[in-house]
Structure 1
Amino acid sequence: MAAYFSIILVIVTLVSGLIWAIDAFMFAPKRKQALAIAEQEKALTDEAKEKILQEPVVVETAHSIFPVIAFVLVLRSFLYEPFQIPSGSMMPTLLVGDFILVEKFSYGIKDPVWRSKLVETGEPKRGDIAVFKYPENPKIDYIKRVIGLPGDRVVYRNKHLYIQPACKDGENKCPGLEIVDRTEVNRGEFSQDGFPMLRYTEHLGKVDHDILINPARGEMLQAYFRQPNTQPYEFIVPKGHYFMMGDNRDNSLDSRFWGFVPEANLVGKAVAIWISFEFDRTDADFLPKWVPTGVRFNRVGGLK
């Protein structure tokens, strides 16, 4: 729906702007000329003058909406776009009901229809929370954390994350495979199917962020994405691609299962929660489930 909305927004902006421009250069001068002729013939009341200069309904509508939707188009396409978190795959960092702000220019300025990169502005960094087009269905937006950069070797084994950064040009000694350190925060703050989950602070390069591990759930190696000549738990990130994972490690459909995210699929970097709603209604409640039960003001702010 987001992709269709972008196209519709562009079309409405172009059509309304075109209608406004044609009227301004062709028909508005004719109405002014008609007013001048009428005033030469006789004195006119203000009401009569207004009637002669009055814009057609279509033009008046275009005149009213064009500045607004043009501003929305520029803001949404090139600067910031709001997104809603629909699932718990990024818990505890992001909860269902969080509304986030995505910085669209973090990974390059792209046109809003064909998504061709117009200006280079930066690349994803390890630890970024990124929104991207799901590779298997680009109509769907996904949000995950950037774990592997192009050329990296990523290993996820026994619920521990290991990374071997890509060897840079000119380096005589390439970095080795190292475990990503993590510190236990608590047990049982979150649970799944009655089992307490473990909360850790993971130290991913310069970014410290929290993750969840469900000790009662086994690893699904048989469902992992497979690359030729690699182990089932090993991933070599191709050039121009990124490896993404959810912070809720045992409840996230991510690169472990469907592969890598092409650079062209990147939408932007999640930078803040601008509002967060609670949705605790059940089928027995009078109001529908999509009506919020409260606002989590303590969650509003920047992301890490």
Structure 2
Amino acid sequence: MKWFEIALVVLTLGSGLVLLLDKLFLAKRRATKGGLLDSEEPALVDYSRAFFPVLAVVLVLRSFIAEPYKIPSSSMMPNLLIGDFILVNKFAYGIRLPITNTKVIPTGEPRRGDVVVFQFPGHPDMPGDPQRGENFIKRVIGLPGDRIGFHGDTLSINGQPLAYEVKGEYVGKGRGAEMNGATLLSEALPGRTHTVLEYLGRANPAGQGDWQVPQGQYLVMGDNRDNSDDGRFWGFLPEQNLRGKAFLIWLNCSGWFCKDGFEPSRIGSGIQ
């Protein structure tokens, strides 16, 4: 959440600044006046000394190493379910500054099939889109320069239709049961095979089309092809909006205190 990131940065910098001012000026002033013992230092300094190391470690881990997210929708079923808590590799696509998401050190680029978290660029026909800047999660389908087509139930890349294998009718548990009856398919992306859900023969006409991916941008789609607000509807994902690569499910818990479901078998699962 954006507000949490801002609060974490502000609190870390604020407590660090208090400690710095205390070391440079306030502690010397207390000593000159025959001041207070360390245990009697001002409460603000005492709290800053206690919380700054913890805040700094959390900020570094969350901004540059791995960040937790919760899956709020069914757009990535069957691979990610509502209530999945995931970890995102924050350095896979470059070291980026918190809040601004500015890349300062390049470390790599997305590969086709990667599941990525990004700041939603917004729908082009909604300048005031309230979801703009929120974190979304989708799969990278089109790389810069690719020609992508999606017609009927088939995805094609650079003129080559992908191969599909029907795995049967999808049967989910808990919140995953909302897509029961859809067809579970294996989709063979170049270099990576993964599963998708579709109601075969009931393709949404609004999600059909052809796209030429510009340089510096990507086309992303959800694995739940008939229930995903993705690049087919709002366009391309700019590289600068990337937040990281999803790689691990560390918990599955839906609702307060898991009242809507808990799936221990998902804990520790890798994200394909």
TM-score (norm 2): 0.88
> Counterparts of 2:39 and 2:196 in 1: how far apart (Å)?
64
Provide the residue aligned with 2:146 in structure 1.
152
Report how far residue 260 of structure 1 moved.
Answer: 0.5
**1:251 pairs with one of 227, 233, 247:** 227
Q: Deviations over 1:78-104 (max 9, x none)?
A: 111100000000000000010000111
The one-letter code sitting in structure 2 at the alignment partner of 1:29 is K
Contact 2:171 2:179 in 1 (8 A): no
Per the alignment, residue 198 of structure 1 pairs with 183
Deviation at 1:182, TM superposition (A): 1.8
User: Which residue in 2 is equivalent to 1:100?
Assistant: 86
Partner of 1:219: 204
Higher RCO (C-alpha under 8 Å, 6+ residues apart): 2
Q: Partner residue of 2:164? A: 182
Whole-Å separation in 1 of the counterparts to 2:214 and 2:49:
49
- Output the amino acid matched with 1:233: G
Between the aligned partners of 1:32 and 1:83, the Cα distance in structure 2 is: 47
Distance 1:71 1:127, change over 3 A: same
* Aligned with 1:291 (options 257, 264, 270): 257
1:76 equivalent in structure 2? 62
Deviation at 1:203, TM superposition (A): 1.4
Match of 2:106 in 1: 120
- Superposed CA deviations along residues 25-44 of structure 1, whole A, max 9, x for unmatched, are 22223444555xx9xxxxxx
User: In the superposition, relative to structure 1, how do residues 194 and 67 fare at CA in structure 2: closer, same or farther (>3 Å)?
Assistant: closer
Q: Does the residue aligned with 2:64 lie in a helix, a strand or coil? A: helix
Q: Which structure 1 residue ranges, 5 or more long, are not aligned?
A: 39-48, 165-176, 225-231, 280-288
Higher CA-based Rg: 1
> Which residue of structure 2 aligns with residue 138 of structure 1?
132
Measured in 1, the distance between the counterparts of 2:179 and 2:75 equals: 18
Distance 1:185 1:194, change over 3 A: closer
Please give the per-residue CA displacement for 1:64-87, whole angstroms capped at 9, x wherever unaligned. Answer: 111111111111111111000000
Give 1:60's match in structure 2, choosing from 46, 52, 57: 46
Contact 1:32–1:53, Cα closer than 8 Å, also in 2: no
Matched residue SS, 1:268: strand
**CA separation of 1:194 and 1:78: change in aligned 2, threshold 3 A:** closer
- Label 1:292 to 1:117 Cα distance change in 2 as closer, same or farther (>3 A): same
Partner of 1:235: 211
Range moving further from structure 2, 64-73 or 210-219: 210-219
- The aligned residue for residue 303 of structure 1 is 271
Q: Which residue pairs with 1:273 in the alignment? A: 249
Taking the aligned partners of 1:193 and 1:26, their CA distance within structure 2 comes to 62
Task: Give 1:215 deviation, angstroms.
Answer: 2.7
Q: Distance in 2 between matches of 1:270 and 1:68?
A: 25
Count of aligned pairs between the two proteins: 259
TM-score by length of 1: 0.80
Shift >6 Å, 4+ stretches: 191-195
State the Cα deviation string for residues 254-303 of structure 1 (Å, max 9, x = none). 011111000011110001001111x3xxxxxxxxx533134312112211
